[in-house]
Amino acid sequence: MQEVQHATSRRASVGKHAGAFGARRGAVIFDDLRAIQLRYGFLPKAELEGLSQRNQTPLYQIHSVASFYPHFHLVPPPKAEIRVCADMSCHLNGASSLRADLQRRFAHAHSEDVQIRDVSCLGRCDHAPAISVNDHILTDVTAAHAEQIARSAMRGDDIHEPRPEQAPITCKADPYGETEKYGAVRKLVPSKAWDDVLTQLKAAELKGMGGAGFPTSMKWDLVRKQPDPVKYVVCNADESEPGTIKDRFIMTNLPHLLIEGMIIAGLVTGAKRGILYIRHEYHLQEEILGEEIRRCHRSGLLGKNILGSGLDFDLEVFVSPGGYICGEESALIEAIEGHRAEPRNKPPFPGQIGLWQKPTVINNVETFINVPQILARGVDWFVAQGAGGSRGLKFVGVSGHVARPGIFEVPMGVPMRDVIFNHAGGVRGGRQLKSFAPSGPSSGYLPASMIDVRLDFKALAEAGSMLGSGAIVVCDDTTCMLDMALNAVRFYRNESCGKCVPCRVGSQKMADMLVRWTQGGVPESQYRADIALLDELSQAMSLTSICGLGQIAPAPIQSVLKHFRAEVDAHVLQGQCPSGICFTPAVRAGEAPRVGIRP
C-alpha cells in the first residue's frame, strides 16, 4: 500500500491517542483509525479490513464509525484541502466572498491537488473569517494568504498553524490569583463534607452553562445517590456551536479551576474517573490541560490516594473525533465509547445510565469552574457578583459585526447593551445595530430594540430567546436577516446526525424553503402555504426530534419571522432583498447540493 506523500502535512493530532483509560474500551477504534489516517492520509480499504481482523470487529462496524465523522477520509484527500467556515460569525465577516475568491484562484487546479469546501464553525469566531488547510486552522484570513498556504501544501511543505501569543489574563473568577491553587479541594478532602458541597451549590443556585441551565446540585445529587460503585465525571468541552468560544478562553486561562471542579465532582459523587472531552480543533488547550493534569499528578491532587486521603480520582483528555452533535451529552458518551455520535433516547439520563452504562456527571467547562469559586469564596460572594438579581460571573463570546470581538468576563445579568457596546466596542465602523443572537443559532435573533435585555437565563427566556452558551453574535444594519436565518438553518441541516426523521428531513425541507424565499418569485398563495407548513414543521421538529438539535433548528427562522417579517415579505412577495444581499448569482450558486448528512 502506497503512503500518500503529503500525509505529514496534515495535523499530527489525527494520530494522537485517546489515552490509556479511554483506549481500554471501545475508544480504541479512534486511535487505530487516526494512526491509519496519519500514515496514509486516508483510510484505505485494505487497512480497514486488516483492522477488522486484528480487532475481531465486523468491518461494517468500523466503516459505520469511520464514515460518520467528517475528519476521517475514506478516499485519498487532495494535496490541499481548504475548508472555509461558513457559519454565522464568518459569514458576517466575508466567508462567502473569500470562498468565491479562492475558487477563482484555483479554477484551473486539478481536484487531486486542491479542493475547497465549506466547514462548520472552527471555534475561532472572534478571528473571522477562519479556514483550515489540511486541518491547520488559519484566522483573519485573506484570499491571498489562504492561496499561499494552500500552494505550499500542494508542494508537500509542512504547514505551521500560527500560535496566538499567550499573555496570561487575570480573571475575576479565579479565587487564587498568585496564591496556592486548588484551595477548595485541599480544604474539602480532609473534611469529606460532600453533602455540604451540594448544599452550597444549591444555595448558590448554580445552573449548567452548556445551554440547558439544569441545576448542578440536582445533577450531582442524582449521581451521588446511585448505588453503582463505578461512576464517571465527564467535562463537555466540545464547544462547536457557531459563536461559542468561551470554553476555549477558560481552558486557556483557568485550566486549574476546571480540573479542580472535576476533582470535586468526583469526590462528591463517588466517581473515580474523569474524562475531559475536548473538540479536536483546540490543540493549544489540549496541551495546556495535559500539562496541568501532569502537574496535578506530581502534587498528589490526581491519581490514587489524593492528598493522602485514601480517595482516588484520575483524569484524562479525550480528543473528539469531531462534529457539533458530539456536544449533545448522550452523543458525546457514544463517541467516547467508540460509536457513531448519535444521541440516545432519554430517559434514562446519563446521571443514571451514562458512560459504559454507569452513572455519569456531565457538565460544561464553565459549570465546573464555578464550583471552586463558590466553595472558596462562599455563596454570598457568588450571589453578589451578579447584576439585577442574577448570580455569579459569566464568560461570553462576542463576534460578528463588532469593533472588538472576543471573550469577556461580565456579571451575570448585565444588559446586552453593556456587553456589546462597552466590552466589545460597539458596532464596527460606527454602523447601526440591527440585531443580535444572544447565543448563536439556537437563540434565534433579537432586534436592536431589545438591546437592554439582561444576560440572564430567565430574562432571555422571557424575551423569547435563551442564554444558551453565551455566544453573542452581532449583526449591523447591512445584514439581511433572511440570509442569516438560512445560514443558521443550514448549519443545523449540515450537523444533523440523521438518526431521527423529523430533524434529518425537516432541516433539509426548511433549508429548501428558505432558499426559495431568498430567490423570490413565490406566488403569495404559495408563500402563505409555506408559512403554514413551516409552522407545522417547526412544531413537529420541536416535539418529536430525539435531541436538542432538531428541537431548536426552527428557532432562527421563527425569530426572523417574528421580528423581521417585513423583510421576509419583501424577498418573497416583491422579489427584493432590502439589504442587497440575496438575488445575486453568487448567492444563488451558494446552496451546495446536499450529499449525505453533511455536505
Ligand X SMILES: Cc1cc2nc3c(=O)[nH]c(=O)nc-3n(C[C@H](O)[C@H](O)[C@H](O)COP(=O)(O)O)c2cc1C
User: Which residues would be at the binding site for ligand SF4 (CB under 6 A)?
Assistant: 325, 343, 496-500, 503-504, 545-547, 549-550
Q: Which of 132, 200, 320, 363 binds ligand X (CB under 6 A)?
A: 363
**Binds 41: which of ligand SF4, ligand X, ligand FES, none (CB < 5-8 Å by kind):** none
Kindly identify the residues of this chain, within the stretch 112-131, that bind ligand FES according to CB under 6 A: 121-125, 128, 130
Largest distance between two CA atoms of the chain: 75
Residues 376 and 548: their CA atoms lie apart, in Å, by: 34
Kindly identify the residues of this chain, within the stretch 217-276, that bind ligand FES according to CB under 6 A: 242
**Binds 367: which of ligand X, ligand SF4, ligand FES, none (CB < 5-8 Å by kind):** ligand X
Q: What is the four-CA torsion angle of 277, 279, 284, 287, rounded to 10 degrees?
A: 30
Piece of 289-297, 313-321, 450-458, 545-553 that binds ligand X (CB under 6 A): 545-553
Kindly identify the residues of this chain, within the stretch 320-339, that bind ligand X according to CB under 6 A: 324-325, 327-329
Burial 535-565 (b: 16+ CB within 10 A, else e): eebbebbbeebbbbbbbbbbbbbbbbbebbe
User: What letter represents residue 2's amino acid?
Assistant: Q
**Binds 546: which of ligand X, ligand FES, ligand SF4, none (CB < 5-8 Å by kind):** ligand SF4
SS3 letters across 247-270: HHHHHHHCHHHHHHHHHHHHHHHC
**Binds 269: which of ligand X, ligand FES, ligand SF4, none (CB < 5-8 Å by kind):** none
Q: Where are the beta strands (DSSP E) in 320-359?
A: none
Residues 372 and 264: their CA atoms lie apart, in Å, by: 8
Q: Cβ contacts of residue 173 below 8 Å, gap of 6+?
A: 254, 257, 369, 370, 373, 393, 395, 409
Supply the minimum distance, in Å, between the C-beta of residue 64 and ligand SF4: 15
Pick between residue 216 and residue 496 the one whose CB is nearest to ligand SF4.
Answer: 496
Piece of 83-91, 198-206, 261-269, 374-382 that binds ligand FES (CB under 6 A): 83-91
**Binds 363: which of ligand X, ligand SF4, ligand FES, none (CB < 5-8 Å by kind):** ligand X
Q: Which of 210, 266, 323, 405 binds ligand X (CB under 6 A)?
A: 210
Residue 90 contacts ligand FES per CB under 6 A: yes
Q: Which of 239, 316, 456, 483 binds ligand X (CB under 6 A)?
A: 239
At 159, give phi and psi (nearest 5°).
-105, 135
Supply the minimum distance, in Å, between the C-beta of residue 505 and ligand SF4: 9
Q: C-alpha cell of 386?
A: 451578579
Burial (0-12, 13-18, 19+ Cβ within 10 Å), 504: middle
Residue 503 contacts ligand X per CB under 6 A: no
At 82, give phi and psi (nearest 5°).
-100, 125
Q: In this structure, what DSSP letter does residue 428 have? A: G
Separation in Å, CA 70 to CA 26, 66, 75, 322, 549? 19, 8, 12, 7, 18
Query: Number of residues in contact with ligand X, rule: CB under 6 A?
Result: 22
Pick between residue 42 and residue 457 the one whose CB is nearest to ligand X.
Answer: 457
Give the residues lining the site for ligand FES (CB under 6 A).
85, 87-90, 121-125, 128, 130, 242
